[in-house]
């Protein structure tokens, strides 16, 4: 194989890989927004949702509520988050991080 053909194949592979990443990010953002909306309806508080995909697999989803949440017991909230994440991302991540942003007092 000549060098020109090899470079063309490498460039094409990189472009195709880039398209997959862009599509994955676009779909991931739509899934994250759907999780935010569903959790807002379920809890009355809108969290921020982030995600991490690696090699085409959903590794983690982070759900951050903007303060201490007392509307449901923690176990019940965790079950709600787990259910909504699996439904909206259409797969279960390896890890779900449920966090609460605590602002400085005073």
13 within domain boundaries: no
22 within domain boundaries: no
- pLDDT, average across residues 83-95: 95
70 within domain boundaries: yes
94 within domain boundaries: yes
Q: What is the pLDDT of residue 16?
A: 47
9 within domain boundaries: no
78 has pLDDT over 90 = yes
Q: What is the CATH number of the domain that holds 47?
A: 3.30.300.30
pLDDT tens digits, one per residue of 6-57? 444 555 455 545 445 555 555 888 999 999 999 999 999 999 999 998 888 8
Taking the C-alpha atoms of residue 34 and residue 16, their distance in angstroms, rounded to an integer, is 27
Task: Give residue 44's region: left, alpha or beta (phi > 0; psi -120 to 50).
Answer: left
- pLDDT, average across residues 97-104: 93
Q: What is the pLDDT of residue 24?
A: 55
Provide the domain count of the chain.
Answer: 1
Count Cβ atoms below 10 Å from residue 28 Cβ, excluding itself. Answer: 18
Domain residue limits at 69: 30-100
User: What is the pTM (predicted TM-score) of this model?
Assistant: 0.76
């Amino acid at each position: 194989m000549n060098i020109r053909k090899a470079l063309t194949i490498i460039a094409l592979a990189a472009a195709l890989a880039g398209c997959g990443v862009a599509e994955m990010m676009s779909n991931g953002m739509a899934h994250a927004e759907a999780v935010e909306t569903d959790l807002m309806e379920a809890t009355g508080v809108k969290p921020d949702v982030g995600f991490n995909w690696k090699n085409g697999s959903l590794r983690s989803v982070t759900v951050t509520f903007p303060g201490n949440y007392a509307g449901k017991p923690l176990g019940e909230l965790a079950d709600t988050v787990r259910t909504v994440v699996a439904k909206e991302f259409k797969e279960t991540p390896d890890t779900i991080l449920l966090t609460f942003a605590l602002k400085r007092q005073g």
